[in-house]
Structures are given as structure tokens and as C-alpha cells.
Structure 1
Amino acid sequence: MSTALRVKKATGLKKSGSLLVIAALAMGMLSVLTPAQADTMRDSEYWLDSLGVTQAQQSTKGEGVKVAIIDTGIDTSHPDLKGAVVGGADMSGSGEAKGNKPIGVMSEHGTLVATLLAGRGNNKGEINRVKSENERLKAAWEKAKAEAEEENEKQKDDEKDVEVPKEPEYQDVPKLTGGSDGVLGVAPAAELLSVSLWMGEGNPANIPVEEQIPRAVKWAVDSGAKVINMSLGSTSPAWPESWDDAFKYAEDHDVVVVAAAGNRSGGMSQVGAPATIPGVLTVAGVDESGKASQDSSTEGISIGVAAPAEQLVGGLPDNGYARWSGTSGAAPLVAGVAALIRSKYPDMKAPDVINRILKTARDTGASGVDNLYGYGIINANAAVNNSVASVSVNPLGTIEEWIRVHRRNNAKSTEAPAPGVSMEKSDLKQVAAPKPIQPDTSTPVLQPVLVIGAGVLLLLVIGAGSIQTLVRRRRERLAASVASASLSSLKVGKSAGDHDLFDDIPEEDK
């Protein structure tokens, strides 16, 4: 793999006459690092302190919360994810049944996202230290043993043998587990569900990603996910109607859905679906200084909060690491905070979880909510530990209400039953028909008065019309007279500056 890979191409799919592009959003720089640099990863995670993650983890690390990562599949063999992935599924028809095979375009994307969200780090440094010490002891012993044996061979029969040293006891090599090396995620004790999609062209199963996504959301909900991370997006703010039910299903089952806002470097000039779906917590990207990223973010009214999206580090399949950029990395940082909150407050509903994240964010940019930062840059410590008033509804809206308002004209009409004879029995009893009433042949007194009044009104209308006709003809004769007069005979008033009728005409045209 190249040491500097920039992904520039997003793949598209025609549907119902519109182009909907779905792609993994790691559209920034991806610089591959060698495994030997694993011990430098922790020092590179500047957001652990700047976002208050380290402080928040003193209260909770996400225990007991399942987070579904709907992405390109997670390499569960990565040392930083040992024990993190507890289940999964493939929606593409081309991956492994448990979603643990990286597939499609940017197949490493899912593993990068997973390590940022729930990486446990690793203890490879300690393992290597113990192995190195044991090897040193063994080498020293073997040398001493060889020297002793050689000396004894030289000894005469009456000389005492040199004592051969015994093999030393070696330290037990620790098993691979979480540790101070590698990538530490925001919620390192959370349990991950790997839901793999094939994003991009060439899916052997020919299942469009538009169909994979709603299936993935429903599977995640049914599998117990309380948070869903979607570091993927489209170039269109609209989404297929077939997604409505899936996201409403997540909403109805109290699931927090977090989505990436997209990246300008990936060809996105605005936030695209699913980040535009009401109720979804959309994450924009900032650089290390906290300013909105020029390349690794975008803008839109649906942005909820912002998080670091530049100079990120994450794990790659086959035990590698990489530095990368994009809102694909910002989203799991926020999803991790959601997992911390749901762990500390297990009975808290999704609207309150989202509200905590929004209301405790550090206001950045224009005062109040804006299109670049939303409510501001996420503050993990405040979101987890501050006192925040409860809300009754999601401050980012609901897909249920959106469906009610915007899909009303698309609702399928119910056909009326064909006309027929009612088969219902009646409890009414028959009654005799009433006697006929004879008509009144007398003339009403008011009738002559109405006839005379109508005649007088008609005469008045005719007279008024004649007068209007005479006035109109007189005006027409006057207008004709004026039109035929010469320009010099018209009276033109002079202004204080002697501005006459020709002052605005060039001299040569006068």
C-alpha cells in the first residue's frame, strides 16, 4: 500500500432518475504507519485530553453498551480490538457472515473507525519487554553453561568440576490484552457490532448499497445496539423513501444514530444523507486548533456538533496503523461519547443523550448554532458529568414527524369498496305513509312588489352604462388631439437647473 493514499473517487448508483452516491468518508490523507510505531499512537491522540475524554473515562468507559458500526467491516484480529467485537453481520452478500471481513472500496475504513471508537490499545510493549528479557536471560545462561561444560572437559580427573549453572526461571509472557500502546478509543469498554456493507463498484452479489443500509440499521437495532455509527454519506441531502422505516425503527427503539457530515476533499459541497435525516446526530470536522476543517468537513443546517477530523490515528487490517483525516473519524469520537453517556445513565432516553452532547458542546464560530460547528465542539467530560435538564423530544427533530409532513402525498391510497347492496338487517318498524297535503293556490301579497322593484333596478343600470360610454368617448377624442400636436406646442416646465426635455440625449442626436 502506498505511504500516502488520497481517495478521490466516490461511487454512484442510478435510482429513480436521480444520482445517489454512497461512500465511506475517509476522503482525506491516509498515511500508513509501520507496526513498530504502535507505541507512538497514544501520544498522537491529542483529542483524548482536548475533548475531556480522559476525564470522562474516569467515570465510565462504555461498559454494557453495544455500538453498531455500519461500515466496510472490521478486522477483529487487530490487537487494539481484541475482545471488542461481540457480533456482526454482512448486508452486502459478499462479506463474511459475521461482518468481520473488510470488503469493498476503502476496505480498511471500518477498522479505522472501530479503533477510534472503542480501541482497547494493547500491551505489546510489555509482551515484547518480557520476551526480550527472557531471551537475554536464556542467552546468558546458555553461554555460561557452555563455558562451564567446556571447562569441565579440560579438567583432570583429580580436579573438581565447575558447577554448570541451572536454567533460570523466566517471566510469564503476558497474554495480548488492552494496554498503554496502540489506539485507545473514546469508549474502550463498549461492545462493537460489525455490520459490513459493500460501498463502491464491483459488488459480486450485485446488492445496491441503498438496499444494504436500511437492512443494516434494522439488524443493528434488533441486535441490541444502543448507538449506531455511520461514517458514510451521499452527495445528495435526500434519501430513498425505503430508508424511512429503518430510521424510524431506530427512533422508535430509542437508538442514538451518529453520522458523518462528509468532506470537501471527497467532492461533497454539502451535508448528504443519512446525515440529513431528522433526529440523526451529524458530526462536522475541525483541525487540531479547533477551526472548521477546510478539506475534512462540510457544512449544513443539520450539523449537530463538531469533533477533530485532522491528524487522526487508527488501526488498519493486518495489525497496521495509519494517520488519516475526515469526518469519518470525527463521527466515532462523538458516537463514543454517546456510549459513555448511555453506560453511566443506562435509563436515559436517546433524546436526552443527544441533548447532553449538544448543550455541553463548546460554542465555536458564530455565536449559537451555525452551519459549520452546529452547537460547537464536543466536550466529553461535560457531556458525561455535567447536570443537564431533561428534554421530552429530540432537539434535532424526529423522522416520524418528517414522514408525516413530507411523505403525506406519497401515501398509498386505500381503494373504496365496490358499490353493493347492504346486507345489514334493520330494526326499524314500518309506519303508515302520511296523508298528501293539498297545494295552496292563492297569490302571495309580496310577489307584485318584487316584480316592480326589479324593473326599476334594470333601468338604473342601463342609464349608468350610457353615461360611462359618453365620458369614455370624450377622453378618447382629447387623447387623439394631444398625440397629433407638435412637440414645441407642449408646455414643459423648467427646473432650477434649466434641465429641459433633451438634456439626457447626446448632443449629436439632438
Structure 2
Amino acid sequence: MTYRKAALLTATALVGLLAPPLPAAYAASAADRPARGGLFLDGSGECTFPMKKQIEGIPWSLQRVLLDELWQDTKGKGVRVAVIDTGVDDVNPQLKPAVDAKAGKDYLKPDKENPGPGDEMRGKTDGTVDEVGHGTKVAGIIAARPRAGTGFVGLAPEATIIPIRQNDEKNSGKSDTMAQAIDHAIAKGAHVINISQDTTQPLSTESAMGKAVARALRKKIVVVASAGNDGMDGKLKNTYPAAFPGVLAVASSDRNNERAVFSQSGTFVGVAAPGVDMVSTVPGGGQCVDNGTSFSAPYVSGVAALLRAKYPEWTAPQIVARIEQTAVRSINGRDNHVGWGVVDPVRALADGAVPQEAPTADPGPPKPPAPEPAHLAVAETPQERTERLATYALGIGGVLVAVVAGTAIVIRDSRRRRGAAAG
């Protein structure tokens, strides 16, 4: 890790200590959402619109990304991202040039009897009516264009959004209409499909939604889905479409690169991405802040769009593997909370990438060298014993000769001294 990146992570971690608590709605989300057949939006919804003022600063989720380095090869031009959600507003100035309204579709009937935000767009069936604001936020995180007065921008600011309205604030979206929406995305040339909705109803690969997902994957489309917001109880459970084979399931992380408390954990989680205090576009204009895995998924979809633009020949599994392989990990492999780690956009787009079909665990620290084997000698042979004793005898004999010779010299010298004294 470079010094600059370490400094960024440290700074955002300190900011995280001062972050406001998450909306109380999450504490009761699991109790409020029993086993259900409908698809639930994975955002808190604590956001009003339109916003008269723009958010000037750079969101924390973008502060850790070196955008110039991220965009040195592409900004996602030519890549089409289908947002299957509550619709995508095409009035917000940051989204107007991004949305392909002609390719959009509305699977819900606009509520003409209950006027609300976006009245001037009622009756449109191109997916650009967003009475909830959820889909507009999702689309902004992917492809919002730069705009004076705000530091917020999408991760793939030249990608095109296909708006598909399939759900609303009443959670009217069902698995069958989701299947139809996926097929529409395929027909309109989507390269990436973002689904920020989930159901805990068990669905097999033979269900209508499961088959639609499989059709998308066969067309080299990267399917990204949120893991869900029912993680407060800490239990592992599957959510769909995130848990279908081949789908990149995204959990939420906080400023410390840890699982956000509301984020659903499970064996299907592929990666995590920022999902706390996320800034994005709202219908009519401006931006607001929201929380949820709904806004983690498009963060990853933006990265997928950039990878598709840079490596158009890659398959969907190869793009998914690249995102997972380059994620920032807390362990050598994956876990059930953040998958293979927290997505790192710049690292995913770094040059020299080699396509791979699946992520692999890090090798970990090098193992210490094995100790040298101890030398083992056989018992002493008779010949070796004889040679040893002979060596001892020679040594002792030499010592005795030296002692005798030395003693004789001493006696001789002593006698000479006595004779000289008597004369």
C-alpha cells in the first residue's frame, strides 16, 4: 500500500468516528420484512427531493479514489448500464445526458390519482418517472456527469443508463416482473445490469428470475445485485437475485472498510463497497445522502462499466473475478461479511491485468525456512574403537615421556647447583 493511499484510508477512518448514526429504520428492518415474495428496495429512503442546493464537497467514497488515475484509459464511454429500479429521472442535470430514455421501460402504471413529485412526467412509460428517488440515486453513483458546484460525480461518467422502472415505494415489484425487466435490458444492449433490490423468498435457478439472469450471463452481461439490508441480526441468509450463480453480490462497507451493521452477510457475498452516507443525485436536481446496500451495488457497477470499456473482449466472469481479486482484503481469502474484500476501483483498472475466471486467495506471509536435519551417526565400530584407544595411548605416552624428561632435567640441574655450592 502506498503512503498516499494509507493516508487517505487513515483520514476517512477518522472521519468515520464522527459520522452520524445510521437511520433507526434499519434496526427494525428484519422484523418489518418477514418472508416475502415481493422485491424490497435496499436503501433507507431517508432523503427528500428535489434539492435546491448541491452538495459542494467530494463525498468520502470518492475521496479515497484517485479519479485521474482511474480515468486515465476510459470513463465508460460506449458502455450501457441497465438500472432496474424505481425509474431514473432524466431531468437532473447530472443525469440528463446519461439516460437513454428511448431504451427505457416502465413495468408499473404511474399513479395518476395521487399526485406527487414528478407530476409533469406522469404518463411516461420510458422508465424516467421516479417517484421514490431510489433509482435516480443508484444511476447517479454509476454515471452522473460532472457539474459545477458539486464534488459528486459517477464512477463511470461517460456510461449510458438504460432506465427500467420495476418497483416503487410500495414494493410492488415481483420476481416475474424482474425477469421481464432483465430480458428488456438484454434486448436493449446492456453490458451491465444493476439490481438494488432483493427478496428472501427462496428462488431456484429454474425460476423465471433465475432463468432471466442466466440468459443475461450468457450474453456476457455483468449482473450486479445488492446483498440486502437485513443483516442487523447477524444471521447468514440468501437473498435473490444476489445469490444466483454468476451474479456479483455486493455488501456494504463503512469508512473503516468493515461491514456496515445493516449489510446482509452470506456465503454468496462477492465483495463489499461503500454504502454509508452515500451522496447521489435525486429527481429534479441536486443531491442528497442515503445509506444501504442499494448504493454499494452501483458503486461496483460503475467499476464494472469501466472494466467493460477497457476490456471489451473479457467475459462477465472475468470482469467479476477482476473486481474480486483486486479488492482490499482483511484476510487472505473471502469471508461472509465483505466477500473478497472492499472494492478498489483504481487497482481494478490498473494496467497489466490478466483475465482470470475466478479469484484466488492471497499467498499470505512467506513460511520460515525448514530447519536443517540433524546428522545421525551409527554406533562405533570395533576398528574405530581400536583407533580411538591407540590415539589415547599415544597421547598419554607422549605426556609421560615429557614428564620423565622434564623431571630428569630438574634433578640434573639441582645436582649441579649443589656441587657448585660445595666447591
Q: TM-score normalised to the size of structure 1?
A: 0.58
Task: Tell me the residue number matched to 1:90.
Answer: 106
> Partner of 1:324 in structure 2?
290
Given that residues 350 and 394 in structure 1 are in contact (C-alpha distance below 8 angstroms), is that contact kept between their aligned partners in structure 2? no
Cα deviation code 1:10-50 (max 9, x no counterpart):
99999xxx7324111103x724488454151xx24222242
Q: In 2, Cα distance between the equivalents of 1:268 and 1:193?
A: 35
* Counterpart for residue 195 of structure 1: 164
Higher deviation after alignment, 94-103 or 270-279 = 94-103
Q: Tell me which residue corresponds to 1:183.
A: 152
Q: Which of the residues 267, 288, 297 maps onto 2:255? A: 288
Query: 1:264 is matched with which residue?
Result: 230
1:477-496 residue pairs with structure 2 within 5 A? none
Following the alignment from structure 2 to structure 1, what is the Cα–Cα distance between the partners of residues 65 and 339? Answer: 16
Which of residues 78, 85, 89 in structure 2 aligns to 1:75? Answer: 89
Correspondence for 1:214 among 163, 168, 179: 179
Q: Does residue 64 in structure 1 map to residue 81 in structure 2?
A: no
Which one of the candidate residues 307, 310, 319 is aligned to 1:353?
A: 319
One-letter identity of the residue aligned with 2:221: V
Look up the SS of the partner of 1:238 in the other structure.
coil
Following superposition, the deviation at residue 268 of structure 1 comes to 9.2
In 1: Cα distance, 2:146 partner to 2:24 partner: 25
Q: Which residue number corresponds to residue 122 of structure 1?
A: 147
Match of 2:304 among 319, 330, 338: 338
Given the superposition, is the C-alpha separation of residues 56 and 213 from structure 1 closer, same or farther in structure 2, using an over 3 Å criterion? same
Alpha-carbon distance change, 265 to 200 in structure 1, aligned in 2, over 3 angstroms: farther
Tell me the CA shift for residue 292 of structure 1: 1.2
Structure 1: which 5+ runs fail to align? 126-180, 397-510
Aligned counterparts of 1:267 and 1:261: Cα–Cα separation in 2: 14
Aligned to 1:302: 268
Distance 1:202 1:379 in 2: 32
Instruction: Give 1:108's aligned residue.
Output: 133
- Residue of structure 2 equivalent to 1:480: none
The aligned residue for residue 48 of structure 1 is 62
Output the CA distance in 2 between the equivalents of 1:314 and 1:339.
18
1:249 — aligned with what? 215
Q: Distance in 2 between matches of 1:305 and 1:10?
A: 22
Deviation at 1:252, TM superposition (A): 1.0
Distance between the aligned counterparts of 1:360 and 1:219, measured in 2?
Answer: 31
Shift of 1:51: 4.1
Give me the whole-angstrom Cα distance separating, in 1, the residues matched to 2:145 and 2:233: 33
For 1:110, what is the secondary structure of its paired residue? helix
Q: CA deviation at 1:186?
A: 0.5
Question: Helix, strand or coil: the match of 2:259?
Answer: coil
Deviation per residue, 1:219-263 (Å, 9 max, x gap)? 101100000000111123535712232111101111000000111
Distance 1:220 1:268, change over 3 A: farther
Q: Distance in 2 between matches of 1:110 and 1:78?
A: 12
Distance 1:322 1:197 in 2: 23
Cα distance change of structure 1 residues 199 and 10 upon mapping to structure 2, 3 Å threshold: farther
- Shift in CA distance, 341/254, structure 1 to aligned 2, threshold 3 Å: same
Q: Counterparts of 1:182 and 1:359 in 2: how far apart (Å)? A: 29
Partner Cα separation in structure 2 for residue 320 and residue 60 of structure 1: 26
> Partners of 1:32 and 1:214 in 2: how far apart?
30
SS of 1:229's equivalent in the other structure is strand
- How many Å apart are 1:387 and its aligned residue? 2.7
Gaps of 5+ in 2: 1-22, 111-122, 361-423
Matched with 1:20 is 37
Question: Structure 1 residues 268 and 122, CA, compared in 2 at 3 Å: closer, same or farther?
Answer: farther
Q: What is the rounded CA distance, in whole Å, between the counterparts of 1:45 and 1:101 in structure 2? A: 26
Number of aligned positions between the proteins: 321
Which residue does the alignment assign to 2:127?
99
2:50 touches 2:285 (CA, 8 Å); kept in 1? no
How far did 1:382 drift? 1.3
Contact 1:68 1:194 (C-alpha < 8 Å) held by counterparts: yes
Q: 1:224 to 1:353 in 2, by over 3 A?
A: same
Q: Does 1:274 align with 2:245?
A: no
Q: CA deviation at 1:122?
A: 2.0
Deviates more, 1:355-364 or 1:212-221: 355-364
Alpha-carbon distance in structure 2 between the residues aligned to 1:118 and 1:26 = 19
Q: In 1, Cα distance between the equivalents of 2:261 and 2:241?
A: 21
Contact 1:92 1:212 in 2 (8 A): no
Matches within 5 A, 1:229-244: 229-238=194-203, 241-244=207-210
The 3-state SS of whatever aligns with 1:389 is: coil
Structure 2 contact 41–198 (Cα < 8 Å) conserved: yes
Partner SS state of residue 163, structure 2: strand
Contact 1:30 1:322 in 2 (8 A): no
Return closer, same or farther for 1:267/1:75 CA change in 2, 3 Å cut-off: farther
Alpha carbons 1:74, 1:114 under 8 Å: kept: yes
Name the larger-Rg structure.
1
2:183 is matched by which residue type in structure 1? K
Query: Cα–Cα, structure 1 residues 380 and 202, in superposed 2: closer, same or farther, change >3 Å?
Result: closer
Deviation at 1:90, TM superposition (A): 1.2
